[in-house]
Amino acid sequence: MSEPNTSDLYLTQLLGQAKTILTGASDIETKVQFFDVLREFFDQSNAWQEWIDVTVIPDLLVYQLQPSSGRILRLWGVIDGNNVAQNAVMPIPGTLQFLYPYTDVQTLRAVVVKNVDGPLECFPPDFPEWLLPQYGLVLLDGMLGRMMAQPGQSWSDRQTAVFHLQRFRDGYCHARVATRLANAVGGQAWAYPQQFRASTQRGGISTFNVNPYPPR
């Protein structure tokens, strides 16, 4: 018999803590709230990211990106093989569009911000293994705050809900800063990709751009 992985143990503990405090709450209710809290946390923090290789071909501006799991929320940046930022946008989540055409084939790397996908189709949803050990208490505050704010339930408690929701907001704001600093204590903001010089793609050669990538 295989042993449960660490992520499963953390999730079991988190849901158990929530149900102990929220007397009378059903399993399905706590699962729904867990998914919604995950969605808000990732949307507000930008903490779940993935590097995706993109092979560009001449004169094609638009490419579809496919994450390994979850769904793409927004574009964090694109770099070439020399770590030079490329001018690109994401008008629709998952659709990468370059501002200038390339004239030769090359592989670039896009960094995307992701979120959970498929609510309750398969529980638990895919999320990074580091999430619950690092931010489990933040997610618990989110679940408690959202559920205690519901009126007319055995677990309703508006005053305590405000307390937990504020802790949840503080938690995802902390995660957003930690992501921007690349989890470097006391370091300067990583602020990807504006620390790299931006470029155009005319002729497939990286050239200095007097209008650098907009800050994020």
Q: Spell out the domain ranges in the chain.
A: 6-46+127-180, 49-115
Quote the CA–CA distance of 52 and 55 in Å, as a whole number: 10
Query: Of the candidates 101, 42, 99, which has an alpha carbon nearest to the alpha carbon of residue 74?
Result: 42
Looking at residue 3, its pLDDT comes to 54
Quote the CA–CA distance of 189 and 187 in Å, as a whole number: 6
Looking at residue 208, its pLDDT comes to 33
Mean pLDDT estimate for the chain: 86
Quote the CA–CA distance of 73 and 65 in Å, as a whole number: 11
The model's pTM:
0.83
For 158-193, write each residue's pLDDT tens digit.
999 999 999 999 999 999 999 999 888 766 554 444
Q: What is the largest CA-CA distance in the chain?
A: 66
* Amino acid of residue 25: A
Tokens 């992701």 belong to 114
Contact assessment for residue 209 and residue 198, using Cβ atoms and an 8 Å cutoff = yes
Looking at residue 202, its pLDDT comes to 42
Looking at residue 213, its pLDDT comes to 39
DSSP secondary structure, 11-67, as one string: HHHHHHHHHHHSTT--HHHHHHHHHHHHHHHHHHH---EEEEEEEE-TT--EEE---
Quote the CA–CA distance of 186 and 169 in Å, as a whole number: 22
Supply the DSSP symbol for 197.
Answer: P
Give the strand pairing for 49-56 and 106-115.
antiparallel
For 150-164, write each residue's pLDDT tens digit.
999 999 999 999 999
Quote the CA–CA distance of 195 and 191 in Å, as a whole number: 7
H or E element that contains 90: strand 88-92
Q: Which residues of the chain have pLDDT under 70?
A: 1-5, 186-216
Quote the CA–CA distance of 39 and 31 in Å, as a whole number: 12
